A and B are shown apart, each in its own frame.
Chain A
């Protein structure tokens, strides 16, 4: 019963390096999300994908790109990492755009940018 799987769990990058965070869900959910979690700020939405083939910006999209590769996978890319992107990143999914259905979260990727 995997749910939402994120890789890697930890990563250290140097400023200017690029990286892709992977997320996959096995619940046949239509909608997927990327959040970042910073101390004292809760989770903030970076990008989301309401359904396969669509992506939209969230609250803090600058410096990120996403790809909804297929229904299962939703990746987040940092093209040129900056120290301000040091954070814990969470991927989530939900069955569809229905506010009554909960989002299911992965265990997170802890990313440090030096």
Chain B
């Protein structure tokens, strides 16, 4: 079955540091890929998405590129802020069959001033 693997957290960075959160997936066919963010006490919000190989999703300074050859969708940001502290989830959804998200376990990011 489908699965998504994320790097273990928490990830602790100083403000303005470079961020990478690794995400790899296992799935048949060509799924769409997503990053969701969860701030404390809130639900998940879509951060960015990519629907086909080599697509780059971007939003709020975050970027991720759909790499089919390495089955990866790593999240990056050039300069993190304290307000970026949250839990980040990588997820995929198939283009056929059941259209529900398969999530990774989440990575907690803590940004210190």
Residues of A within 8 A of B (CB): 4, 31, 33, 40-45, 48, 50, 56, 58, 90, 92, 94, 97-100, 102-108
Question: Separation in Å of the B59 CB from the closest CB of chain A?
Answer: 11
Digitize B82-113: 1 where CB-to-A-CB distance is under 8 Å, 0 elsewhere: 00000001000111001111011110000000
- Counted as pairs of residues, one from A and one from B, with CB atoms less than 8 Å apart, the total is 57
Question: Separation in Å of the B54 CB from the closest CB of chain A?
Answer: 16
User: Judging by beta carbons under 8 Å apart, are B99 and A43 in contact?
Assistant: no
Number of chain B residues whose Cβ lies closer than 8 Å to a Cβ of chain A? 25
Cα of A105 to Cα of B39 in the assembled complex, Å: 12
Cα of A56 to Cα of B32 in the assembled complex, Å: 21
Task: Let me know if B43 is at the binding interface, CB within 8 A.
Answer: yes
Interface 9-residue window, one of B12-20, B44-52, B60-68, B70-78: B44-52
Cα of A92 to Cα of B34 in the assembled complex, Å: 15
List residues of chain A with CB within 8 A of the CB of B100: 33, 45, 48, 58
User: Judging by beta carbons under 8 Å apart, are A100 and B32 in contact?
Assistant: yes
Cα of A40 to Cα of B51 in the assembled complex, Å: 26
- Take A100-B32, A100-B51 as given contacts and tell me if A56 and B44 are in contact as well, using a CB distance cutoff of 8 Å: no
User: Judging by beta carbons under 8 Å apart, are B101 and A4 in contact?
Assistant: no
Question: Separation in Å of the A21 CB from the closest CB of chain B?
Answer: 14
User: Judging by beta carbons under 8 Å apart, are B49 and A4 in contact?
Assistant: no
Question: Separation in Å of the B25 CB from the closest CB of chain A?
Answer: 13
